[in-house]
């Protein structure tokens, strides 16, 4: 299916054919080990040759799905802005389609990647604004909401993957400096998990203290079942792990303070980190009163938030009030075949669990593929009930194909 002329004006004629052409190909899923190895021994020319094609494939796959969203959503001003950004970036990258890998071309490509990264810096917030605009205008029916939820999981994990490719290339072969001499691009081959946990906790605690004038403490237990007695380290993208931990700590602190009150002694947040042969497991346990199963199901929904809607004047922290923190954190976990889930006991507290692959050759990118299956999931109308009541986990569309 091609983009409509109304949605993406410049994508007509030969450009529309390019979109159709590149969306026929499946994106190449890389392991974190492949990212690491290429960052150490690869060349700028080889990276350029791979990226100029792979970025077009990943963009085309998700852009084709964009056109299948409910027409009302596509007409929202913020949604149009996002679609135009993607159209512009696809067209910019097409300029390198037939170019050789000369140093001059690679330098031009690097400059263009920087432009694309800046252009897409606020895609998440802008798409969230599109949903708010839709709710405020006419609302959305249940069938459309499920399709939107299905699409956004795919859209945002696609965005994570595209930014990973771009940032990795620019740090290794461009002018962007790594976070430390040990890093290979965005990847830390010996990521100190304890350090990331403490960093995320202290920054979340700073926000909690600032807002509530108090915060719970943390009790951390580390257990390395592979190399007993040694610190826990894995091959990871530290910023991804930090994003997840910071979000979960924020939620746990807020729940704890609001449940117990600012004048009471607050129970500790307990954190367990265990490294096994295959998985790195992290569990964050709070006594913040928990949530009911009804609410628990909604916490990953992009159209649901426990916080008040964000002000439109830019005075609030990015993403606050959009309800995107938890679903995006789950996508960061799932991106390299990990997972994130919650177990809650209403009236007591919540356990948040993160699983990450401990073996880098097994940590493969999870990428959306445009197909008849994805088209069906995006365009499916209301279904006749096959249960007397809603059963959790039954009849839900998958988060990824």
- If DSSP codes are grouped into helix, strand and coil, which group holds residue 214? coil
Helix spans in 67-97 (H) = 71-74, 77-94
Nearest to 358 by CA among 190, 222, 239: 190
> Out of 146, 169, 240, 243, which one is annotated catalytic?
243
Catalytic residue among 247, 270, 365, 377: 247
Q: Which of 251, 270, 357, 365 is catalytic?
A: 251
Q: Alpha-carbon torsion 236, 242, 247, 253, what sign?
A: positive
Catalytic, 250? Answer yes
Alpha helices in 189-298 (DSSP H): 193-212, 238-260, 293-298
Q: Which two tokens stand for residue 123?
A: 């895609």
Compute how many other C-beta atoms are within 10 angstroms of the C-beta atom of residue 297.
15
Structure tokens at 395: 């009849």
Cα dihedral value 340, 346, 348, 351, nearest 10: -10
- Whether the Cβ atoms of residue 31 and residue 161 lie closer than 8 Å to each other: no
CB 203 within 8 A of CB 246: yes
**Which residue in 181, 180, 220, 214 sits closest to 197, CA to CA?**
220
Question: Which of 250, 270, 275, 357 is the catalytic position?
Answer: 250
| 247 in active site | yes
Q: Could you list the active site residues?
A: 243, 247, 250-251
């Amino acid at each position: 299916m091609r983009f409509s002329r109304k949605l993406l004006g410049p994508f007509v004629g030969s450009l529309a054919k390019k979109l159709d052409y590149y969306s026929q190909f499946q994106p190449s899923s890389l392991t974190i080990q492949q990212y690491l190895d290429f960052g150490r021994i690869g060349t700028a020319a080889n990276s350029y040759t791979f990226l100029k094609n792979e970025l077009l494939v990943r963009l085309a796959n998700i852009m084709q799905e964009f056109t299948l969203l409910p027409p009302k959503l596509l007409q929202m001003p913020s949604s149009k802005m996002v679609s135009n950004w993607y159209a512009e970036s696809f067209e910019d990258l097409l300029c390198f389609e037939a170019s050789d890998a000369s140093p001059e071309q690679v330098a031009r490509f690097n400059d263009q990647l920087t432009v694309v990264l800046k252009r897409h810096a606020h895609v998440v917030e802008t798409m969230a604004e599109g949903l708010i605009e839709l709710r405020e205008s006419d609302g959305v029916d249940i069938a459309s909401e499920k399709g939107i939820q299905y699409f956004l999981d795919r859209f945002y994990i696609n965005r994570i993957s595209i930014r990973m490719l771009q940032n990795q290339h620019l740090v290794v072969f461009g002018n962007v400096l790594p976070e430390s001499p040990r890093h290979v691009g965005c990847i830390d081959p010996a990521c100190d998990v304890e350090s990331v946990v403490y960093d995320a906790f202290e920054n979340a605690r700073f926000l909690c203290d600032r807002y509530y004038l108090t915060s719970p403490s943390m009790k951390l237990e580390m257990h390395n079942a592979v190399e007993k007695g040694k610190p826990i380290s894995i091959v990871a993208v530290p910023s991804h792990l930090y994003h997840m931990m910071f979000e979960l700590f924020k939620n746990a602190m807020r729940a704890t303070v609001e449940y117990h009150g600012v004048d009471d002694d607050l129970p500790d947040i307990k954190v367990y980190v265990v490294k096994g042969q295959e998985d790195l497991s992290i569990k964050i346990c709070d006594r913040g009163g928990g949530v009911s199963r009804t609410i628990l199901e909604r916490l990953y929904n992009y159209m649901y938030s426990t916080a008040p809607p964000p002000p439109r004047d830019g005075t609030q922290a990015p993403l606050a009030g959009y309800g995107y923190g938890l679903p995006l954190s789950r996508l960061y976990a799932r991106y390299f075949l990990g997972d994130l889930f919650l177990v809650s006991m209403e009236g007591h507290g919540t356990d948040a669990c993160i699983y990450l692959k401990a073996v880098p050759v097994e940590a493969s990118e999870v990428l959306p593929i445009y197909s008849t299956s994805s088209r069906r999931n995006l365009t499916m109308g209301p279904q006749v009930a096959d249960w007397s009541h809603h059963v959790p986990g039954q009849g839900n569309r998958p988060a990824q194909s």
